[in-house]
Amino acid sequence: MGIRILVLVYWLIGVGYSFLLDDVCSTGNVCSCSQHGIDCDGKGLTEVPAFNISGHPIDISLILLKNNTISILKNNAFSSLQGHVNSMLYMVISHNNISVMEDTCFKGLEDKIFRLDLESNNLHAIPMAITSLNRLSELSLMFNPIQVLDINILSRLGHTLSTFKLTLEQFQRWPSGFRYIFGLDSLFISKYNSTSIKISDFHYMANMHLRTLAISNSPLEEFPVGICDINELTHLDISKNSFTDRTKEFFDVCHTPQRNLIFLFMQSNHFGVFPDIGKTFPAIRILDFSDNNLNYISGELTPMPALENLVLSSNNLVHFPSALSTLAPNVQTIYLSRNKIVDIGNADLMTFSHLENVFFDHNPLEYLAASSFVRNTVLHQIDLSDTKLLTVPCALMSLSYHSISAYLYDNTLECDCRMSCLSHINLSKISFTGHPQCTQPNISVTDFITNVIQANACATK
């Protein structure tokens, strides 16, 4: 989903890199090297190779060692890189079998590594070796069987660490050691093994400058009330939990509105009721409520006038939720993909004067009223892919006077004179993305509109 991808790139820090083959280093023809990175992803390595740097000077900023079978990071493992690494090195050693990191394994890079990814290894504690990284800003230990958090190690990391990602599957009490990470800005927790988090567990976080908090894949039964006291929180992810409280009053444990929160992710929580989010989070701008069990949305909810992006994909909605007209009057993007919506009426979208993007793809949509988009004057993207529409809907006629993309992937379209309503559609403004074809062989939708509909061939029949 587009919005989910955009927020996760912004919130969860997804970075893409490319490697241009070069002769700047040699590792026995195992790894790919470029001017700025070394790629040893999935090369069957059992240890860190020696990097024989040669040729013109390089300044490495990325090292990928993921998807190998390394079990030990030995002392001086990266000594061959000394003098060739800049001060903002991102090192990824995820998806190995690392259980031991010797104390001086990062020797020579202590002031270079600022991001370290050790996800999906076999670490039972935070290795002392990591404390030597005196400029480390981001550390991910997700999906390691961490059993203990040594406060001495956390306090040594606390002066520089701002982003911490951790799996707490071995913990049944919330770790108090987080308080020693003084500059913590973002905390991502997965698989916390408890049904609740006490309000006292979060008291120290109220005095921190925590802005991003994610607690996912955990058996939490209720919304952790301590979150209400984290005053600077702007991003909250409580996805994929096991909440038993899924009522309209889900957030009522917060007795005062939390006006800083602008991103809220609640997907995959089995909610059948839409909670009163606007009451507690009046400034919310992006809301992901996908992959729940919604059948409808009540009209008796507090409006969210700041809401810009709403994701309701993969629910059980049969009709467009009419309550959205008052609940989210200024929304710009609505995702309703993968629901059970059969029809869109003339009045469903009429009140959304700021709507720019709407996604109805992967619904059993059979009918789109002719005046559906008459008042959506800024709409420029509509996704109707993989629906049961048999013709290009006449509703697109009202949108063709400004540039718009209509997605029609995987549709079976019967091109016939039922499309005569499109005789004046401006094909220079509307783009039928997906190159939709008519059921008639060797004819595209645009060709049919041009050569049959706009040529008045239907009028002569």
Question: Tokens 């009223």 map to which residue?
Answer: 369
Say yes or no to pLDDT of 252 above 70.
yes
193 part of a folded domain:
no
Percent of all residues in the chain with a pLDDT value above 90, rounded to a whole number: 70
Specify whether the CB–CB gap between 271 and 245 falls below 8 A.
Answer: no
Which domain CATH number covers 113? 3.80.10.10
Q: What is the pLDDT of residue 29?
A: 61
Q: CA separation (Å) from 336 to 247, 280, 293, 375?
A: 22, 24, 13, 19
86 part of a folded domain:
yes
Q: What is the pLDDT of residue 442?
A: 85
Task: Report how far residue 447's alpha carbon sits from residue 437's, in angstroms, rounded to the nearest whole number.
Answer: 9
458 versus 328: the higher-pLDDT residue is 328
Task: Report how far residue 400's alpha carbon sits from residue 393's, in angstroms, rounded to the nearest whole number.
Answer: 12
Q: What is the pLDDT of residue 20?
A: 34
Q: What is the pLDDT of residue 10?
A: 40
132 part of a folded domain:
yes
Q: What is the pLDDT of residue 14?
A: 39
Q: Note the pLDDT tens digit of each residue in 410-440.
A: 998 999 999 999 998 998 999 999 888 899 8
Strands 404-407 and 430-433: parallel
Say yes or no to pLDDT of 293 above 70.
yes
pLDDT band with cut points at 50, 70 and 90 for residue 459: confident
Nearest to 153, CA basis, from 175, 176, 125, 172: 125
Q: Bridge partners of 212?
A: 186, 235
Cβ contacts of 142 within 8 Å, gap of 6 or more: 119, 120, 165, 166, 167, 188, 190
184 part of a folded domain:
no
127 part of a folded domain:
yes
- Type of residue found at 66: K
Instruction: Give me 103's structure tokens.
Output: 């104390």
216 part of a folded domain:
no
103 part of a folded domain:
yes
Task: Report how far residue 203's alpha carbon sits from residue 191's, in angstroms, rounded to the nearest whole number.
Answer: 21
Backbone angles phi, psi at 139, to 5 degrees: -135, 125
Say yes or no to pLDDT of 21 above 70.
no
Say yes or no to pLDDT of 73 above 90.
yes
259-262's contacts with Cβ under 8 Å and 24+ in sequence apart are 259/283, 260/231, 260/232, 260/233, 260/234, 261/233, 261/234, 261/235, 261/236, 262/234, 262/235, 262/286, 262/306
The count of domains in the chain is: 1
Q: What is the pLDDT of residue 85?
A: 84
Say yes or no to pLDDT of 355 above 50.
yes
99 versus 37: the higher-pLDDT residue is 99
Average pLDDT, rounded, for the chain: 89
47 versus 51: the higher-pLDDT residue is 47
Q: Note the pLDDT tens digit of each residue in 75-122.
A: 999 988 887 887 799 999 999 999 999 999 999 999 999 999 999 999
Mean pLDDT value of segment 125-135: 96
pLDDT band with cut points at 50, 70 and 90 for residue 28: low
Q: What is the pLDDT of residue 36?
A: 79
Percent of all residues in the chain with a pLDDT value above 70, rounded to a whole number: 92
Domain range enclosing 75: 1-145
Q: What is the pLDDT of residue 15?
A: 38
Q: Helix count (H) and strand count (E) of the chain?
A: 5, 24
Say yes or no to pLDDT of 1 above 70.
no
Q: Note the pLDDT tens digit of each residue in 139-188.
A: 999 999 999 999 999 999 998 999 999 999 999 999 989 989 988 999 99
Backbone angles phi, psi at 231, to 5 degrees: -70, -25
Say yes or no to pLDDT of 55 above 90.
no
Q: What is the pLDDT of residue 204?
A: 82
Distance between first and last Cα of the chain: 44
Q: What is the pLDDT of residue 16?
A: 39
409 part of a folded domain:
no
pLDDT band with cut points at 50, 70 and 90 for residue 460: low
- Type of residue found at 93: I
pLDDT band with cut points at 50, 70 and 90 for residue 54: low
Q: What is the pLDDT of residue 290?
A: 98
